[in-house]
Amino acid sequence: MSRTSHRVVVTRPRERQQNLARALAAHGLSPVALPLIEVVPPADDAALRRAAGSREPRIWLFTSAAAVRPFVERWRAAGAPARPSRLVAVGRRTAEALLAEELGRAEVPDQQHGEGVLDYLLTTLPAHSHVLFPRAGDARPGLAEGLRLAGHRVDDPVAYEKRLPDDAPRAFSLLFASGEFGWVTFTSPRIVAHFVQLAGSSWCPGSDGLWAASIGPTTTAALRGVGVNQVIEAREPSDAQLAAAIARHLDS
């Protein structure tokens, strides 16, 4: 199956489209932008401001680059009262965001999903550690709960929320007017939920019309959970590996 001229729909947030689009184009694929998620500030940032203003020494844990800027802005506004005793980032992009804020080089666990990160922390944290974990509003509770059950103290304020962009329904309808989906990239369970919402009740997820490319096991599980059968998964959770997974499949 040739990959020349294959359209691949990129559903990442608008501000994060470029890297994946570039990686797809490098493989001879044709990226098409359809942002199905946007990052917005939390409705109430009081908990985030309290966490940022704390003077207690804590291990800082970031599982998304989207949490870095909102937390750091409030931390600096509070006078940068305490720096992290350790810095842990899930994924290269999150580590780069922390480095760009001049917070130093973060530890990056090899396994970049919830269970793997929890295993890494449980085997490397001293007993009764204090962990700061700025998170998405819809973050799965397993990581924070797992740390608490192990006897660690966790501050996990909401740093950002995610929502469907206002223009997404119209853009979705125009792009998929023919009823054919083809290749669509999925980089979070929330994007899966938004896709299903927009596809509507008439869509049959088990049909052959959609080829789903998933960033990792959590997103793959969300796709399987709504009945999507044709799913390929990146070997590592990165834009480069997501594009490479599609290219490998088309070349096979």
Max CA-CA distance within the chain? 58
Task: Return d(Cα 217, Cα 233) in angstroms, integer.
Answer: 7
Q: Which residue has the higher pLDDT, 240 or 204?
A: 240
Pairing of β 38-40 and β 158-163: antiparallel
**Residues 184, 210 contacting (CB under 8 angstroms):** yes
- pLDDT band at residue 3, thresholds of 50, 70 and 90? low
Report all structural domains of the chain as residue ranges with CATH numbers, in order of start: 7-38+164-251 (3.40.50.10090), 45-160 (3.40.50.10090)
> In a 3-state reduction of DSSP, which class is residue 35?
coil
Give the pLDDT confidence of 103-139 residue by residue, as tens digits: 999 999 988 777 889 999 999 999 999 999 999 999 8
Q: What is the pLDDT of residue 88?
A: 96
The structure's pTM equals: 0.82
**Residues 96, 23 contacting (CB under 8 angstroms):** no
Give the pLDDT confidence of 22-33 residue by residue, as tens digits: 999 999 999 999
Give the pLDDT confidence of 31-81 residue by residue, as tens digits: 999 999 999 999 999 999 999 999 999 999 999 999 999 999 999 999 999
Q: What is the pLDDT of residue 178?
A: 84
